Amino acid sequence: MTTPRRLLLATLLLLAPLAASATSPFDGRWRLDTARSSALDGWSAWDLVISMNGSRVSLRHDMQWRSTKHQATNTVDTAAPSEIADFFRVEQRHMALYPAKGGKTAARAGWLDAGRTLRVEADTPIEISQGRAVMRLYCEYRLIEGDQSLVLIELHSSRPQPLVYRFNRVPQSP
């Protein structure tokens, strides 16, 4: 092996741990911009906390309505399909379409747009007045505006129009 090749290989080996520990621009707390988003019926505030561990992406929903606070997390895997118990949907409280007892949501996730968009598809069992049904969801989490804003677009098989939520990054405390 020639000296320049050895130098390149040594440099790559030294930088690999740094690249592996680099955080994603998705990581962090995102606060809903209610004025620029679909109605958040049933809730008055929403923080979305995103964290990544390898191919797993944790989407934590910190919800509030008056003094009532609720926290729920959906964790998806971009490398393999996931099964999620108690899959959380933001509109479930308002629409009264609750997860079916004992049901598990089949979820698939992947990256689009060179890692700038997280795509999540889910088939979630729900309880409706006629019994049980499966709701299909397609969600895109897109980074915009220099990674300081995030837009979430949700398509539901139970709705004729998409839901669009815009979030702003919450600065980390020093």
**Which domains are delineated in the chain?**
27-169 (2.40.128.20)
H/E run at residue 137? strand 131-144
Token pair 């980074």 in the structure block, residue: 143
The confidence score (pLDDT) of residue 94 equals: 61
Pair 89, 82: CB distance under 8 Å:
no
The confidence score (pLDDT) of residue 158 equals: 85
Q: Degrees (nearest 5) of the Cα angle 62, 37, 143?
A: 75
- List per-residue pLDDT tens for the chain, 174 residues long: 555 555 444 444 443 333 444 689 999 999 999 999 998 888 899 999 999 999 999 999 999 999 999 999 999 999 999 999 989 988 866 666 778 889 999 999 999 999 999 999 999 999 888 889 999 999 999 999 899 999 999 999 988 899 999 999 999 876
CA distances from 134 to 18, 82, 97 (A): 43, 16, 11
DSSP letter at 78 equals S
Q: What is the pTM (predicted TM-score) of this model?
A: 0.84
What contacts 24+ positions apart, CB below 8 Å, involve 57-66?
57/26, 57/109, 57/118, 59/120, 59/141, 61/88, 61/90, 63/90
Go through the chain and tell me how many residues it has. Answer: 174
Distance CA 24, CA 46 (A): 21
